[in-house]
A and B are shown apart, each in its own frame.
Chain A
Amino acid sequence: MESTNFIYTFLEWLLSFDSRALILSASAIGAGLAMIAGIGPGVGQGYAAGKGAEAVAKNPDNKNNITMIMLLGAAVAETSGILSLVIALIFLYGNPLVNLEGASLIISASAIGAGFSMIAGIGPGIGQGYAAGKATEAVGKRPKLQSVIIRTMFLGQAVAQTTGIYALIISLVLMFANPLIKGY
């Protein structure tokens, strides 16, 4: 019966490896997963730039104000990409999980989980870029309301960033203060 249980066989196979090798492999997967979040700001900034180009085409006289809004919005949209990069590089060059003692399976799963949690950074990246794009479009249509639009955009972007920060906190907790290892 046990031999037919795929998960049981798979876990047994995993545990047949050296624990350090298992943790390092999981960290490599975690680093790769964390980098997926870099897609978000790319898509978001692309969207903002597209909307900016549209707005400039409609209202060429207001080009500089439109570019300014796009610049400020796009600069903020990059943040979650930087955070995911930092987590991935910590995995590769300053991995705190390697020296931990405890069940190697839990430590490995934590490494993958920490990488997985950073994927949440896609959301703020796209969302902030979307806000920047819409604000750029709005400034093109109503240049007189620029200061109100820019502030509303930043308020929305600051709120949108929170999920990215939650993801970062969970990722850092899994790496540096993992309660699952202590509880085992």
Chain B
Amino acid sequence: MTKMNKLRQTRNQIVKLTFILGVLITIILCIFFDDKLGIIFGTIFGTFISILNFIELEKTLIKASVMKPRNAQSYTTKHYFLRYGIIAIVVLISIKANYINEYATIIGLLLLKFVVIFTNLFNDKEYFKRIYRKEG
């Protein structure tokens, strides 16, 4: 596995898990709530936008990593506000459109963050054992 593939593999794994979790969450929400179509549209909309934002973030950081530190800071901040604007438009559309459930969209937008944290934080029991192991 080449070095470039490792970065791509991590991205693909996160995207895949987010998609799977998105489907699971949609099914769970549809079982408990009445607005089934709105929930399906909302989670799909939110999940896809969060995945696209993640890919955009990857491209931004790959470009920023070869810049001078000061330029990289301003470039990344500019792109952050671009993504922020996209999220604002997405939430706005889901609030305005009656056929999209806005809460499902917000859940979809935040799913990727949970996937990133949980796949990287809870994948090694030994790490936590070391933290809680008593000294001496």
Q: B-contacting residues of A (Cβ < 8 Å)?
A: 38, 41-43, 45-54, 56-57, 63-68, 70-72, 74-76, 78-79, 81-82, 85-86, 89, 93-94, 147-148, 150-151, 154-155, 157-158
Contacts and interface: CB of A to CB of B under 8 A. Distances in A.
B36 interface: no
A154 B117 contact: yes
Interface in B1-56: 3-4, 6-7, 10-11, 53-54
Given A53-B68, A76-B117, A67 B61 contact: yes
Interface in B75-123: 75-77, 80-81, 83-84, 87-88, 91-92, 95-96, 102, 106, 109-110, 112-113, 116-117, 120-121
A71 B61 CA distance: 7
A136 B1 CA distance: 22
B1 to A, nearest CB: 11
A63 B2 CA distance: 12
Interface string B51-81: 0011001101110111111111111110011
Given A45-B77, A67-B62, A89-B88, A155 B3 contact: no
B135 interface: no
Nearest to B72: A53
B99 to A, nearest CB: 16
Interface of B: 3-4, 6-7, 10-11, 53-54, 57-58, 60-62, 64-77, 80-81, 83-84, 87-88, 91-92, 95-96, 102, 106, 109-110, 112-113, 116-117, 120-121, 124, 127
A157 B114 CA distance: 12
A82 B54 contact: no
B35 to A, nearest CB: 15
Contacts of B117: 76, 154, 157-158
Given A56-B66, A70-B65, A158-B117, A85 B91 contact: yes
